[in-house]
Amino acid sequence: MLRRLLTLRWLALSVLAVLLVVVMSLLGVWQWHRAQPSRYAAAVSAPPVGVTTVVRAAQPLPTYAVGRLVTASGTYDAEHQFVVPGRRLNGQVGSWVLSPLRLPDGSGVIVVRGWTGTPEGAGFAPTGPVDVTGRVQSAERTGSPAAGAGPELSAVDPAVVAPRLSYPLLDGYVVLTAQSPPANAALTPVPPLLPTSGDGLHPRNLAYALQWWVFAAFVMVGWWRMLRDDVQPPVTPEPAPAPVAPNPALDRRRRQALEDAVSGDDELAAYNRYLAELDDAADSRGR
């Protein structure tokens, strides 16, 4: 078996099998970690990172990124400012004020700059470069323009805002917690919705993890069976014995000997047995 493994064909197959097993095992471990509920608490308490490290343009927002503290540097799009009415804060009904923040890579991200109780309190986004810090939130996905193409939205939905812009938007949005230069003092900060750590295991990611590990097991079993079949020689079935041609005379004498034995003629029965034995001997020599 060792000599067979050292051939070029089996070396290539073995290397391929090892690579597949390693990759599938790592994918299973990755999905297992994603299934753990503790990742939400870790995301909330983790230090801030750049927004583009957890949210990619033209890609859905990862679940583990919700609640993550992020930073971003750029310039607010002064021509596009939106409000989402009907939002409560401290028992009062008002509006969220949000603006797209243009990032250095050419994309943008929606930033909820604050809450206002009156339309006049929305103000305008600051001009010039800003550094913002905030919490990533999932898009509400039910948004639609409240009235034509005006500034009012029914929800914070990048899919509704993106067609009005000439640059791509990141999925989700950022709730502002700090800004330099300072944010508009007339706006009240909006408390971000933080995920909890008691959600339990996530069955979809857990199923993906088990699936990758089963695939890795299939690769190992398949490699072993291919090697075993290649090493063991094929089993050749033994040929069936040649049929013996019937001997009518021998059969007749045996029947006669049996009849004589039954009839009680011992001498005749012995003579017939003797003839049958001679026929057996002659038949054996003729084979």
Give me the number of domains the chain comprises.
Answer: 3
In terms of domains, do 89 and 59 share one? yes
Q: For residue 10, give its domain range.
A: 2-32+204-231
Tens-digit pLDDT profile for residues 199-252: 556 677 788 889 999 999 999 998 888 877 777 766 666 776 666 555 565 566
Calculate the CA 92 to chain-centre distance: 44
pTM of the model: 0.56
Q: For all residues of the chain together, what is the average pLDDT?
A: 81
In terms of domains, do 142 and 208 share one? no
In terms of domains, do 117 and 54 share one? yes
Q: Rg of the chain's alpha carbons, rounded to an integer? A: 43
In terms of domains, do 97 and 218 share one? no
Record the tokens describing residue 282, joined without a space.
Answer: 């002659």
In terms of domains, do 260 and 155 share one? no
Rounded to whole angstroms, the Cα distance separating 277 from 109 reads: 107
- The pLDDT value recorded for residue 267 is 72
Place of tokens 């090493």: 231
In terms of domains, do 44 and 28 share one? no
Residue 237 belongs to a domain: no
DSSP label of 121: G
- The pLDDT value recorded for residue 40 is 60
DSSP result, 274-285: HHHHHHHHHHHH
Highest mean pLDDT: which range of 37-46, 58-67, 105-114: 105-114
Residue 127 belongs to a domain: yes
The helix (H) or strand (E) run that includes residue 213 is helix 203-231
Short-list 233, 212, 271, CA closest to 21 = 212
Side-chain half-sphere CA neighbours of 109 within 13 A: 35
Contacts of 36 (CB under 8 A, 6+ apart): 201
- The pLDDT value recorded for residue 147 is 46
In terms of domains, do 119 and 172 share one? yes
Short-list 46, 201, 75, 32, CA closest to 136 = 46
Tens-digit pLDDT profile for residues 140-194: 876 555 445 678 999 999 999 999 999 999 999 999 999 999 887 889 999 988 7
Percent of the chain with pLDDT over 90: 38
